[in-house]
Structure formats: C-alpha cells, structure tokens
Amino acid sequence: MTQPVSATAEQVRGVTMPLVDAVGSACPGPLLMARRALADIEVKGRFKLLSSDPGTCRDIVLWCEKSGATLESVNTSETGIFSFVIRRNR
C-alpha cells in the first residue's frame, strides 16, 4: 500500500475528497503528487489538487488526457493558488 499524499480532505459540492496540497512545489512535484493521488483513489473517485506553480495548469490538462482522468474544474484564487478537481475514470 502506498503512503497517502495528504491527510486532509475537503468537501466539494457535498462530497468529501482527498486534498493534495502541492503549494510551493515546483514542476514536476504537483504532477507526481497528482499521479500518486489518482492511484490511491477508487474508480469514479475525485481529489482536489492545489498548486502555486503556473506550469501545473498546462501539465495537468495534458496528464489527464494521457491518463484517462477527467479534469472537472480549474480555479485560481486571488493569491495565485490553482485548484484542480480530478476524477479517476479507470
């Protein structure tokens, strides 16, 4: 069994999901953390990734296409933190 990427969870649209905090981590850190989180959740499960690295926006879109995951939402806070909700499809 792999180590969890985050001990925290967040409620998004009434559903509790793992929260992966990659804020302060540069490429490829956020992508590697997302990959680990995707492996740790069940099919149709979701997780939220936080990142401060602008390159993550491009990387996550491409990685989701490649991995078969769905990028359900992308938001940017006023402080420059990007949040991504990702669903595992297979």
- Per-residue pLDDT, 16: 82
pLDDT surpassing 90 at residue 6: no
Q: How far apart are CA 15 and CA 84, in angstroms?
A: 15
Mean pLDDT of 13-17: 75
Residue with tokens 């990427």: 5
Output the CA torsion 81→78→45→63 (10° steps): -50
pLDDT surpassing 80 at residue 90: yes
Q: Is 27 designated active site? A: yes
- Report residue 70 as tokens: 């769905």
Taking phi over 0 as left and psi of -120 to 50 as alpha, with beta for the rest, 24 belongs to left
Mean pLDDT of 38-45: 95
Domain ranges of the chain: 19-87
One of 27, 57, 71, 74 is an active-site residue; which one?
Answer: 27
- The rounded radius of gyration (Å) of the Cα atoms in the chain is 12
Percent of the chain beyond pLDDT 70?
83
Which numeric CATH code is attached to 19-87?
Answer: 3.30.110.40
pLDDT surpassing 90 at residue 4: no
